[in-house]
C-alpha cells in the first residue's frame, strides 16, 4: 500500500501537468484534469497521514536502489502533515483560480492554457520537497518550485510582474547556489546525500567543519523561508502577482524553506546547535516584519510583511529545540499556511469588489459587502492571535515552550512574540477600520502626489465616494512606463460562486484548526517527539526500509520503546 501511495502526491500532478499541456486548446478539459489531479493528491496525502500516524515513518527507494544511490522518498509525521496542508491549499486556490478564469475570460490577460500545467508542476515540486529523503532530491524539488513559480509570478506579462519576477528569480538563484554548495560540502564530508545516512555520519565530522556546512545550509534555507535579514525580496515580489498566485505563494512557498530548516536542525546537525543564531533571527524577523506591516497602506503589502513577521514564530520554535517548541512550530506552520492563503483570497475578492487594495481609497465595505467583511474579520482576528482561535493556541504553545526554556534569549523571544502579536493585531485592525468600518463619506479625497501605498506617485484630485474609484493607469512614455492615477470609475469585477466557495471553504478550514485543536496538537506533539529522536527517521529508512539493515549495522544504539519506531525484522 505505502509503495503505491507514497509517490502519488508527486506523480499525479506531474502526469496531470503533461495532460493539461496536451489539452492546451480545451480549457474545460484542463480544468477537469487539474481539479482531478489535486483531488487525488489530497486523498493520497490524507491516506498517508492515517498510515504514518498508525504505523510510524515509511520510506520508499524508487527503483529499489540502495539508500544513498537512488531517489529516496520518506513519509514521517512532519512530511505528511505538510503534504495534507499544502494539498488542501493548492486545491482550494485552484478552485478559486478556475472560477476567476471562467468569470474573466480573456479580460484577465492571463494565459489559462499555461496556468494549469504550471500550477500542477508547482504542486509536484512542493510534494517532492516534503517527501525527499535525500538532499539532492530536496534540491530538485526546490528547483521545480522555482521554475514553476517564476512562470506563475509573471503570468500576464505586466511590467510590474516581470520586474518582481526578476527580483524573485535572482534571489532564488542565489539561494539555490548556496544550497548546491551546501550539498557539495555535505557529500565531501560524509560521502552521501541520503539524509538518514548524513544524520549518522555527520557526528563523525570535526566540529568546525560541521559549523561551516551547517551555516551554508541555514543561509540557503533562510532565504527561501524569508527569515530576516534575508526577507527584503518578499514584500516586493508577491503582491504584484494575480490573486490566486499571490495566495498560494504567500501561504505555501516560504513554508517549504521552514520545513528545510526543521529537517536541518533536527536530523542533519544533531551535534551542532545554532540555537542562539536561530533565536536572534526569530526575534528580528517577528519584530521587523510587524513594524513593516503597520507602516503599509496597501493591504497586499501589509499582509506580505505579516507573512515575514510570522515566519519568526516558526523559527522561534525551531530555535528552542525542545519537543514542546517544535510541536508549537509545527502547529503554527499549518495554521499560518491556511490563514495567510485565506486572507489573500479575501483580498482578491476585495480588489474585485472595490477596484483597489489601497487603504487610502477603500471604505464602507462592511456596509456594502457584509459577507466579505465577515470573511476578512475571522482570519484576520485569527492571525492577530485572538482567543480561542488557532493563532492564539499556536502562540500559546510557543510562549509556554519559551518560558519552560528559561534562558535569556528564550525570554527575549517570548517578549518579541507577545509584542509582535499586538502589532499584528494593530495592523489588521487598521485594515478593518479603514477598508471595512470607515464610512464612504469619510474616505479622504486623493492627495496630489500622495503615495497610495504601492510606492507610485499620484496625481489628480477628484474623490469619488461611491466606491474606491481611483485606478492606476500604466502609460508608455518615451519607452518608459509611468503609473498615474486617473479620476475615473474603478474597474470592479464580479466574483463567481467558485471564488466565493473556495474562500469560504478555506476560512472554514481555518476555523477547523480551532474546533479540532485537541487532536491536531496531539498529532503535532507526536511529530515533534519523532523529530527530537532522529533514530526514528533513520530506522525507518535504513533498518525498516528496503535497505533491510540492522540497527547495529547502521550504528544505531538499541532504543526499545521509541515512539513511532517498529521492531526491525
Beta bridge partners of 59: 74
Instruction: Give the relative orientation of helices 370-384 and 497-515 as an angle to the nearest 10 degrees.
Output: 30
Average pLDDT over residues 449-463: 41
Predicted confidence (pLDDT) at residue 165 exceeds the cutoff of 50 = yes
Q: What percent of the chain has pLDDT over 90?
A: 61
| DSSP characters over 362-394 | ---HHHH-HHHHHHHHHHHHHHHT-TTSHHHHH
> Which of 86, 80, 63 shows the shortest CA–CA distance to 13?
86
The three cell numbers locating residue 470: 481611483
pLDDT band of residue 557 (cuts 50, 70, 90) is low
The beta-carbon contacts of 10-15 under 8 Å, at least 24 apart in sequence, are 10/73, 10/124, 10/127, 10/128, 10/131, 11/124, 12/37, 12/40, 12/41, 12/44, 13/37, 13/38, 13/41, 13/120, 13/121, 13/123, 13/124, 13/127, 14/120, 14/121, 14/124
> Which of 130, 157, 348 shows the shortest CA–CA distance to 258?
130
Least confident of 88-97, 184-193, 430-439, 474-483: 474-483
First-to-final CA distance of the chain:
18
Least confident of 61-75, 273-287, 357-371: 61-75
> Is 436 in contact with 365 (CB distance < 8 Å)?
yes
pLDDT tens digit sequence for 312-335: 999 999 999 999 999 999 999 999
Non-local CB neighbours of 14 within 8 Å, separated by 6+ positions:
120, 121, 124
Length of the chain: 569
Non-local CB neighbours of 198 within 8 Å, separated by 6+ positions:
135, 186, 190, 192, 267, 268
Q: How far apart (Å, rounded) are the C-alpha atoms in residues 375 and 327?
A: 28
Q: How far apart (Å, rounded) are the C-alpha atoms in residues 330 and 400?
A: 15
Q: How far apart (Å, rounded) are the C-alpha atoms in residues 304 and 398?
A: 22
Non-local CB neighbours of 523 within 8 Å, separated by 6+ positions:
53, 77, 81
Q: How far apart (Å, rounded) are the C-alpha atoms in residues 389 and 428?
A: 15
The pTM (predicted TM-score) of the whole model is 0.88
Q: How far apart (Å, rounded) are the C-alpha atoms in residues 271 and 210?
A: 9
Q: How far apart (Å, rounded) are the C-alpha atoms in residues 275 and 410?
A: 10
Task: Output the pLDDT for position 483.
Answer: 36
Least confident of 151-155, 265-269, 537-541, 545-549: 545-549
Q: How far apart (Å, rounded) are the C-alpha atoms in residues 460 and 486?
A: 6
pLDDT tens digit sequence for 275-307: 899 999 999 999 999 999 999 999 999 999 999
Amino acid at each position: 500500500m505505502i509503495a503505491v501511495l507514497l509517490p502519488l502526491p508527486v506523480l499525479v500532478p506531474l502526469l496531470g501537468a503533461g495532460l493539461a499541456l496536451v489539452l492546451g486548446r480545451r480549457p474545460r478539459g484542463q480544468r477537469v484534469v487539474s481539479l482531478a489531479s489535486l483531488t487525488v493528491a489530497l486523498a493520497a496525502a490524507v491516506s498517508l497521514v492515517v498510515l504514518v500516524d498508525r504505523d510510524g515513518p515509511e520510506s520508499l527507494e524508487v527503483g529499489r536502489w540502495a539508500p544513498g544511490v537512488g531517489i529516496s522518498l520518506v513519509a514521517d509525521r512532519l512530511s505528511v502533515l505538510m503534504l495534507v496542508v499544502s494539498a488542501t491549499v493548492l486545491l482550494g486556490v485552484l478552485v478559486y483560480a478556475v472560477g476567476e478564469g471562467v468569470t474573466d475570460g480573456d479580460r484577465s490577460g492571463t494565459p489559462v492554457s499555461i496556468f494549469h500545467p504550471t500550477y500542477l508542476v508547482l504542486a509536484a515540486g512542493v510534494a517532492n520537497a516534503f517527501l525527499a529523503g535525500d538532499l539532492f532530491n530536496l534540491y530538485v524539488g526546490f528547483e521545480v518550485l522555482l521554475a514553476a513559480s517564476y512562470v506563475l509570478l509573471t503570468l500576464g506579462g505586466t511590467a510590474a510582474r516581470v520586474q518582481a519576477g526578476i527580483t524573485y528569480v535572482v534571489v532564488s538563484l542565489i539561494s539555490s547556489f548556496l544550497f548546491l554548495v551546501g550539498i557539495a560540502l555535505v557529500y565531501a564530508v560524509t560521502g552521501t546525500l541520503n539524509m538518514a545516512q548524513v544524520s549518522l555520519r555527520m557526528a563523525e565530522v570535526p566540529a568546525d567543519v560541521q559549523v561551516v556546512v551547517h551555516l551554508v545550509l541555514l543561509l540557503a534555507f533562510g532565504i527561501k523561508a524569508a527569515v530576516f535579514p534575508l526577507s527584503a525580496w518578499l514584500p516586493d515580489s508577491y503582491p504584484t502577482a494575480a490573486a490566486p498566485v499571490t495566495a498560494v505563494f504567500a501561504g505555501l512557498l516560504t513554508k517549504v524553506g521552514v520545513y528545510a530548516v526543521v529537517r536541518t536542525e533536527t536530523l542533519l546537525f544533531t551535534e551542532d546547535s545554532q540555537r542562539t543564531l536561530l533565536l536572534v533571527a526569530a526575534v528580528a524577523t517577528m519584530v521587523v516584519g510587524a513594524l513593516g506591516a503597520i507602516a503599509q497602506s496597501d493591504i497586499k503589502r501589509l499582509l506580505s510583511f505579516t507573512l515575514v513577521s510570522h515566519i519568526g514564530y516558526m523559527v522561534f520554535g525551531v530555535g528552542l529545540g525542545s519537543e514542546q517548541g517544535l510541536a508549537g512550530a509545527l502547529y503554527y506552520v499549518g495554521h499560518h499556511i491556511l490563514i495567510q492563503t485565506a486572507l489573500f483570497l479575501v483580498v482578491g475578492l476585495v480588489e474585485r469588489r472595490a477596484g483597489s487594495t489601497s487603504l487610502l481609497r477603500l471604505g464602507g465595505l462592511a456596509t456594502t459587502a457584509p459577507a466579505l467583511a465577515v470573511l476578512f474579520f475571522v482570519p484576520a482576528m485569527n492571525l492577530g492571535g485572538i482567543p480561542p482561535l488557532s493563532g492564539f493556541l499556536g502562540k500559546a504553545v510557543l510562549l509556554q515552550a519559551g518560558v519552560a526554556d528559561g534562558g535569556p534569549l528564550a525570554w527575549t523571544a517570548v517578549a518579541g512574540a507577545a509584542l509582535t502579536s499586538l502589532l499584528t493585531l494593530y495592523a489588521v485592525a487598521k485594515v478593518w477600520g479603514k477598508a471595512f468600518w470607515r464610512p464612504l463619506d469619510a474616505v479622504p479625497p486623493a492627495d496630489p502626489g500622495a503615495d497610495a501605498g504601492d510606492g507610485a506617485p499620484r496625481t489628480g484630485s477628484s474623490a469619488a465616494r461611491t466606491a474606491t474609484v481611483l485606478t492606476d493607469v500604466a502609460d508608455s512614455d518615451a519607452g518608459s512606463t509611468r503609473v498615474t492615477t486617473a479620476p475615473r470609475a474603478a474597474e470592479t469585477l464580479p466574483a463567481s460562486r467558485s471564488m466565493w466557495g473556495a474562500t469560504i471553504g478555506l476560512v472554514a478550514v481555518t476555523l477547523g484548526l480551532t474546533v479540532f485543536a485537541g487532536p491536531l496538537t496531539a498529532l503535532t506533539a507526536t511529530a515533534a517527539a519523532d523529530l527530537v529522536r532522529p533514530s526514528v527517521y533513520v530506522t525507518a529508512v535504513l533498518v525498516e526500509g528496503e535497505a533491510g539493515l540492522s540497527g547495529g549495522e547502521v550504528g544505531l544504539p538499541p532504543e526499545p520503546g521509541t515512539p513511532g519506531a517498529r521492531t526491525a525484522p
